[in-house]
Every structure is written in structure tokens, then in C-alpha cells.
Amino acid sequence: MSIFKPVTVVTGASVGIGAALARVFAGNGHEVALVARREKEMVLLANELAVSCKYKPHVITADLQRSDAPARIAHELLGRGLEPAIVVNNAGFGLHGEAADLDRGEQLAMLDLNVRALTDLSLRWIDGIVKHQGGILNVASVAGFLPGPGMAVYYASKAYVLNFTKLWERDWGGYLQVNWGYHPGHVVGLRVDNVGGDLGDPEDPALDSRLRVSPVLTWFPTEFSKLRLQYNFDQGDALPRDEHSLWLQMEFLLGAHAAHKF
């Protein structure tokens, strides 16, 4: 039996998404540790939650851009008899502008926070998280799914968060896709996805095995646009019956092109 009490650590918890997540966890009976640079805002939030929640949140002031911040947070938690069961990595920021024009030091500081600190805090308390059957919540962004003009380093940092976090999933899967360009500007294809969750949570139906078969018809009116029609047949253990859906996608490309710029 551990002598330390489990706690949910929320970074970037002074305002915005971090504060909202802290409210959710505290409202559901979790003992929460708020971590951010702005102490005043965290104290106000802790006092607010102390009135309506089971526990008054702990306040830890730290600048996660500093390389020693995770160790200082760990030392502070240890001194309070706390052991992270859940880690919410929400702290982060972005810079707008061409990477070549932005200050290099500021961009590296962004990576220190968005990537290095997140990785450190994700790995630092693994044994305790497993022992308490807790988890890690890394706040990414839609920016993680594609490159972003004018925010190259930020988008790259969120792509790291997305892919790093996927490694912790216990789901598995794969897909096969075959395309045939039967006529200039026209492509037909067939995609088969098969995923399984036998290593996941048996109480979570979303992790059950499932199969999707998708015939696809794509038309490229120009080199900068496409129209895709896709039919999906879904079969899965968690589905009450076979599911059918139809997708229509329109895409227009703007900006740099592989062959030239316009």
C-alpha cells in the first residue's frame, strides 16, 4: 500500500483549457494539482473549487520551459505526500510567422514546453500511474494532422504530441488501399481497415474489433482540387448491426505546390 495519495496533475491550469479540465477532474472527486506560471489565477481557481469540490486543489507555480521544472514539480509533490495517478499535459504555446523570420530562441523555447516538458512529465511517473490505474491526457490540436503555413514549428510540435501519444494506445490495426487511375483525372479505389482491441479495456466497446470496407471514387477537376465519394461498410463487435455510410469530400489546395508556387 502506497503512503502517497494519488493526485491528478494538470499543467497550464491557470486559464483556458487547463482550468476547464481542472474543474472537470475536481468536480468528479479527484485531488488535483494545478501547475502553471501564473500563481494568482491558480489560487483564485483553487479557492473557487474548494467551495464546491471534495478537495481543494494544490497550487504549484512552475515555468515548464525551464529544463529543471519537471524535477521541481516532482519534488514539490513528494513533499506534499502526493503521487501522480493522472497527468494532464495541457501547457503549450504557438508562434505565428515564417520559421526563418521568427526568433530562434523563442521557437526552441516553444519546443521545450510543447515537446520536451510533455515527454518528461509523461514518462516520469509511469510506475505510479500504472499502480493507480490512472492515465495520461496529452492535449494536442488539429494542427497535429497537417503542416501549417506560418506556424511550422508549432504544427510540428503538435504532430509530435499526437504521434507520441498514439504509442501509448493499446489498440492495434492496419489498412490496405488499392487505387486504379482508369481515366485521366479519375481514380477508383478500395480501402479495407481492420482494427482490434484485445489488449485494451474489455469494458470499453470502442476498443472492440471492427472492420470497414470502403470503395472510393475520386475526380480531380484540376491539379489543385478534388472531389471524393466514399461508401463505408462497417462491421464490429460493439455495433448492434452492420452500418452503412456515405462520405462526400471536396478539397481545394492553396499555397505552395510540389511543382511550383502561385
Could you list the active site residues?
154
Compute the distance between CA of residue 241 and CA of residue 161 in angstroms, rounded to an integer.
35
Helix axes 16-27, 39-52, angle to 10 degrees: 30
Compute the distance between CA of residue 14 and CA of residue 109 in angstroms, rounded to an integer.
19
Longest CA span, the chain: 69
Torsion sign across C-alpha atoms 104, 109, 110, 112 = positive
Please give the span between the terminal C-alpha atoms of the chain, in angstroms, as a whole number.
Answer: 65
What element of type H or E holds 70?
Answer: helix 69-79
Quick check: 204 and 195 in contact, CB under 8 A? no
Quick check: 159 and 148 in contact, CB under 8 A? no
In the block, residue with C-alpha cell 500500500: 1
